[in-house]
Amino acid sequence: MDYLFTENQKMIQELARQIATEKIAPVAAHYDETEEFPWPIMKILSESDLFGVYIEEKYGGTGGGAVDLAIVTEELSKACGGIAVCYAASALGTYPIILYGNEEQKKKYLPDLAAGKKIAAFGLTEAGAGSDAGAIATTAKKDGDYYILNGTKQWITNGGEAQIYTVVAITDKSKGPRGASAFIVEKGTPGFTFGKKEKKLGIRASTTNELIFTDCKVHKDNLLSREGSGFIVAMKTFDQSRPGVAAQAVGIAQGALDHAVKYAKERVQFGKPISSFQAIQHMLADMATQTEAARALVYATARLVDSGAAKISKASAMSKLFASDVAMKVTTDAIQIFGGYGYMRDYPVEKYMRDAKITQIYEGTNQIQRNVIALELIKESLSK
């Protein structure tokens, strides 16, 4: 399929593909095994100017948008979903600054993020606030020119490794979701420490960590937008970032499919390569069709985001829902094609399945995506 990428987008795609094939694929199993943060790969992505593909040129980026970010994320995910999310989660942490930062905040933070000199993370989730994002308990109490943050964020991708964090905390409990506010918090701020590094099923190259705030003083200049807008900052951020998770899912699915096709041609049973059996051919055909349909939805959604359309929540949720379910199905079928070998860690496909699972969960479970889609459908029908 031709997604009518611009010349620049094709160049970005080629560059990301080359890095994925030459630099990431050979070390994907190593990072999965050791769970080390892939700083050497982050350095390569930074030197290749890929961190700034969705950031405006005046802040040091290359001026693209959600399509460019999806292209890079998809290509990296074909080789390793875990390494790809280290890259993509930096965008998740950066979006609140792009969407809601004032000029000073943008000038201060975006150039280093665009250059990949620093990476970002997004701190919303807490032990008691996963799907119910409005239930966060971390507080930010105004004290003169500062806000004093107290509380613990859980399961933060890039936690501990990132230098810049966008964090949502409650400034006025009585107002419910309207009482949350978003802040930029730098690593090294007194009172800001990291807790437990999680051991995970998949995306093991990425770090998932607790953020602990203990009387952490954050200057009021680091408040994003205004007090009370934190929930909206989070929701609008997800509207932008969910096609990125979907792109990760498409890359994971494609990576598993490519391995499955190669293996099916090599594996001989009953005197023939198993690719000559219709049972295998039909599985491969379904995997390829589902992956392409997911890709079409991802790039259509990313284009909608880049068009500046006001209403993107539904498309964004649909792309994540569909692509992540496809990734889970395609990676599971890839293991089936590999048979017993697919279940072994010596072969690459079981990792794709482990990496795929999280795409149905993070940045909103697929049950939450269905809620978002249904609510938008009902709202649309009311306005007709």
Using DSSP, state whether 310 is helix, strand or coil.
Answer: coil
Q: How far apart are CA 85 and CA 230, in angstroms?
A: 24
Asked if 367 interacts with ligand COS (CB under 6 A), we say no
Asked if 167 interacts with ligand COS (CB under 6 A), we say no
Whether 75 is catalytic is no
Interacting stretch for ligand COS, rule CB under 6 A, among 189-197, 235-243, 272-280, 345-353?
Answer: 235-243
Write the DSSP assignment of 248-309 as a string of letters. HHHHHHHHHHHHHHHHHHH-EETTEEGGGSHHHHHHHHHHHHHHHHHHHHHHHHHHHHHTT-
Asked if 99 interacts with ligand COS (CB under 6 A), we say no
Q: Measured from the CB atom, is 336 or 371 closer to ligand COS?
A: 371
Interacting stretch for ligand COS, rule CB under 6 A, among 2-10, 205-213, 342-350, 364-372?
Answer: 364-372
- Footprint of ligand COS on 170-209 (CB under 6 A): 177-178
Q: Measured from the CB atom, is 292 or 376 closer to ligand COS?
A: 376
For 32, residues 6+ apart whose C-beta sits below 8 A from its C-beta are: 80, 82, 204, 205, 351
Q: Measured from the CB atom, is 76 or 233 closer to ligand COS?
A: 233
**Tokens 């889970």 correspond to what residue?**
328
Q: Binding residue for ligand COS (CB under 6 A) from 131, 269, 289, 367? A: 131
Q: Which residues, in sequence order, are bridge partners of residue 224?
A: 182
Angle between helices 81-100 and 349-357 (to 10 degrees): 30
Q: Measured from the CB atom, is 261 or 361 closer to ligand COS?
A: 361
Interacting stretch for ligand COS, rule CB under 6 A, among 32-40, 198-206, 292-300, 358-366?
Answer: 358-366
Site string for ligand COS, 49-78 (x = CB under 6 A): ------------------------------
Interacting stretch for ligand COS, rule CB under 6 A, among 46-54, 94-102, 122-130, 333-341?
Answer: 122-130
Evaluated on CA atoms 273, 276, 278, 281, the torsion sign reads: positive
CB 356 within 8 A of CB 253: yes
Of 185, 214, 211, nearest to 198 (Cα)?
211
Q: Binding residue for ligand COS (CB under 6 A) from 63, 111, 134, 195? A: 134
Evaluated on CA atoms 121, 126, 130, 136, the torsion sign reads: negative
Q: Measured from the CB atom, is 61 or 159 closer to ligand COS?
A: 159
Q: Binding residue for ligand COS (CB under 6 A) from 59, 231, 322, 347? A: 231
Q: Binding residue for ligand COS (CB under 6 A) from 236, 259, 320, 354? A: 236
For 377, residues 6+ apart whose C-beta sits below 8 A from its C-beta are: 314
Question: How many residues lie near ligand COS (CB under 6 A)?
Answer: 22
Rg, Å, the chain Cα set: 21
Q: Nearest distance from residue 317's CB to ligand COS, in Å?
A: 9
In total, the chain counts a number of residues equal to: 384
Q: Nearest distance from residue 89's CB to ligand COS, in Å?
A: 8
Q: Measured from the CB atom, is 63 or 177 closer to ligand COS?
A: 177
Using DSSP, state whether 185 is helix, strand or coil.
Answer: strand
Asked if 363 interacts with ligand COS (CB under 6 A), we say yes
Q: Classify residue 68 as exposed, middle or buried by CB count within 10 Å of its CB (0-12, 13-18, 19+).
A: buried
**Tokens 């937008």 correspond to what residue?**
225
Asked if 238 interacts with ligand COS (CB under 6 A), we say yes
In one letter, which amino acid is 13?
A: Q
Asked if 87 interacts with ligand COS (CB under 6 A), we say no
Closest residue by beta carbon to ligand COS: 364
The residues that are catalytic are 363
Which residues of the shown chain bind ligand COS in the complex (CB under 6 A)?
A: 122, 124-125, 131-134, 177-178, 231-232, 235-236, 238-239, 313, 362-364, 368, 371-372
